[in-house]
C-alpha cells in the first residue's frame, strides 16, 4: 500500500472516530466537541499528506465548527491558518482572504490581537508574489489591528512592508503617505537611525512621482536623522534636480548606500526620471544654431 493510500485510510478512520464523539447517548448528553475537533484536525493533516486537499479542507472546516461550539476561538483560528497552506497547494490563493478575515476575527474575539496581526502577515506573505494587491490589504489590516494594542514597534515593521509593496506597485502617492506614517511610528520609538533611512526612501519616492519640491521639504524636516553620507548624497541629489543637472543626479542615484537599500528602493533609484531641462535646451540649441542670430537680427530691426 502506498503512503497516500495509508494516509487516506488513516484519515477515514479518524473521521469515523470524530463522528462518534459527536453522537449523544443516554450516558453522554453533550457531544464531545474537543475530541471531535482533535480527530478532525488529525484527519485533515493525513489527507493533506496524501494530497487529498479538498478532503483536508473539509476536515479542517469541521474541526473549526467543533472548536466554535466549544468556544475555543484560538484553536478555531489556528485551523483557518492551516487552510491558508492548502490554498497555496491548490493554487487558490484568492480564497485566503475569506479565511484570513475569519482567523483575524476569532483571534480578536479571543483577545489575541498580536496573533491576529501575525495571521494577516502570514496571509500577506503567501499572496504577495502572485497577488500583491491582496497582500497589501492584509498588511494594512494588520497595522490597524496591532495599533489597537499600541504595539508601535510591530506596527512600524508592518508599515515598512506596506511602503515597499506600494513602491513595487508604483503607487507613489500612497507610498509617500505610508512612508510618512512609518516615520511617525519610528519617532514614537525614537528609532532615529531607521528614520534616516526612511528619509532617503521618501526622497526617492517623491522624485519618482515628479515632485522635487516636496522631496526637499521632507529632507529639511527629517534630514537631521540621516547619516553624514546620506545627508551629503541627498543634498547633492536635490541640488542636481534644482539645477537640472542629469549627470550629477545620475551619480548621486548610484551612491553605494542607495544601491544597497531594500530591493524595491534600489530598483526605484534606477527608474527615477532624471532632470532634463538643460539637456533639452542644449539639444534645441544644437539643432537650431542660427536661431539666436535670427532673433538678434529681428531685435535690431525693431529698434
Whether the pLDDT of residue 283 is over 50: the answer is no
Q: What percent of the chain has pLDDT over 90?
A: 78
Residue 170 DSSP symbol: T
The answer to whether residue 22 sits within a structural domain is no
The answer to whether residue 195 sits within a structural domain is yes
The answer to whether residue 63 sits within a structural domain is no
Contact 219, 195 (CB under 8 A): no
The answer to whether residue 120 sits within a structural domain is no
Give the domain range for residue 231.
169-284
Task: Note the Cα 224 to chain centre separation in Å.
Answer: 28
∠ CA 117-118-123, nearest 5°, is 95
Tell me the pLDDT tens digit for each residue of 185-215: 999 999 988 999 999 999 999 999 999 999 9
Give me the mean pLDDT over the 267-275 stretch. 93
CATH number of the domain that 173 lies in? 1.25.40.10
For 206, the grid coordinates are: 517623491
The answer to whether residue 174 sits within a structural domain is yes
Band (pLDDT 50/70/90 cuts) for residue 303 is: very low
Terminal Cα distance for the chain, rounded = 105
Give me the mean pLDDT over the 103-124 stretch. 95
Long-range contacts of 21-28 (CB under 8 A, 24+ apart): 22/66
Per-residue pLDDT at 151: 84
Q: How far apart are CA 197 and CA 136, in angstroms?
A: 22
Task: Note the Cα 150 to chain centre separation in Å.
Answer: 20
Nearest to 231 by CA among 219, 247, 242: 219
Q: How far apart are CA 58 and CA 44, in angstroms?
A: 8
* Class of residue 152 by CB neighbours under 10 A (exposed 0-12, middle 13-18, buried 19+): middle
DSSP class per residue in 82-138 = HHHHHHHHTT-GGGHHHHHHHHHHHHHHHT-HHHHHHHHHHHHHHHTTT-HHHHHHH
Count the domains in the chain. Answer: 1
Q: What share of the chain is helix, strand, coil (3-state, %, to 5)?
A: 80, 0, 20
Tell me the pLDDT tens digit for each residue of 145-164: 998 877 888 999 999 999 99
Whether the pLDDT of residue 268 is over 70: the answer is yes
Tell me the pLDDT tens digit for each residue of 36-82: 999 999 999 999 999 999 999 999 999 999 999 999 999 999 999 99
Per-residue pLDDT at 237: 96
The answer to whether residue 303 sits within a structural domain is no
Per-residue pLDDT at 23: 86
The answer to whether residue 175 sits within a structural domain is yes
C-alpha atoms less than 13 angstroms from C-alpha of 13 in its C-beta half-sphere: 7
The answer to whether residue 97 sits within a structural domain is no
Tell me the pLDDT tens digit for each residue of 1-46: 788 899 999 999 999 999 998 886 545 677 899 999 999 999 999 9
Amino acid at each position: 500500500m502506498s503512503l497516500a493510500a495509508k494516509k487516506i485510510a488513516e484519515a477515514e478512520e479518524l473521521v469515523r472516530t470524530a463522528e462518534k464523539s459527536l453522537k449523544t447517548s443516554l450516558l453522554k448528553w453533550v457531544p464531545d466537541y474537543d475530541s471531535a475537533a482533535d480527530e478532525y484536525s488529525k484527519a485533515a493533516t493525513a489527507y493533506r499528506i496524501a494530497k487529498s486537499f479538498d478532503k483536508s479542507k473539509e476536515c479542517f472546516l469541521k474541526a473549526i465548527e467543533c472548536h466554535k461550539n466549544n468556544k475555543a476561538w484560538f484553536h478555531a483560528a489556528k485551523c483557518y491558518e492551516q487552510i491558508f497552506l492548502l490554498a497555496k497547494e491548490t493554487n487558490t490563493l484568492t480564497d485566503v482572504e475569506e479565511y484570513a478575515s475569519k482567523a483575524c476575527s476569532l483571534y480578536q474575539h479571543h483577545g489575541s490581537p498580536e496573533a491576529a496581526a501575525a495571521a494577516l502577515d502570514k496571509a500577506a506573505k503567501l499572496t504577495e508574489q502572485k497577488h500583491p494587491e491582496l497582500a497589501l490589504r492584509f498588511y494594512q489590516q494588520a497595522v490597524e489591528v496591532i495599533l489597537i494594542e499600541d504595539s508601535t514597534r510591530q506596527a512600524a515593521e508592518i508599515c515598512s512592508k506596506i511602503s515597499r509593496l506600494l513602491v513595487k506597485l508604483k503607487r507613489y502617492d500612497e507610498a509617500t503617505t505610508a512612508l510618512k506614517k512609518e516615520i511617525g511610528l519610528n519617532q514614537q520609538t525614537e528609532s532615529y537611525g531607521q528614520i534616516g533611512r526612511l528619509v532617503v526612501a521618501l526622497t526617492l519616492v517623491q522624485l519618482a512621482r515628479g515632485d522635487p519640491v516636496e522631496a526637499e521639504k521632507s529632507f529639511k524636516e527629517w534630514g537631521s536623522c540621516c547619516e553624514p553620507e546620506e545627508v551629503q548624497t541627498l543634498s547633492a541629489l536635490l541640488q542636481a534636480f534644482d539645477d537640472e543637472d542629469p549627470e550629477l543626479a545620475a551619480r548621486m542615484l548610484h551612491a553605494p548606500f542607495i544601491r544597497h537599500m531594500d530591493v524595491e528602493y534600489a530598483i526605484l533609484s534606477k527608474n527615477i526620471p532624471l532632470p532634463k531641462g538643460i539637456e533639452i535646451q542644449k539639444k534645441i540649441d544644437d539643432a537650431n544654431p542660427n536661431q539666436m542670430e535670427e532673433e538678434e537680427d529681428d531685435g535690431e530691426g525693431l529698434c
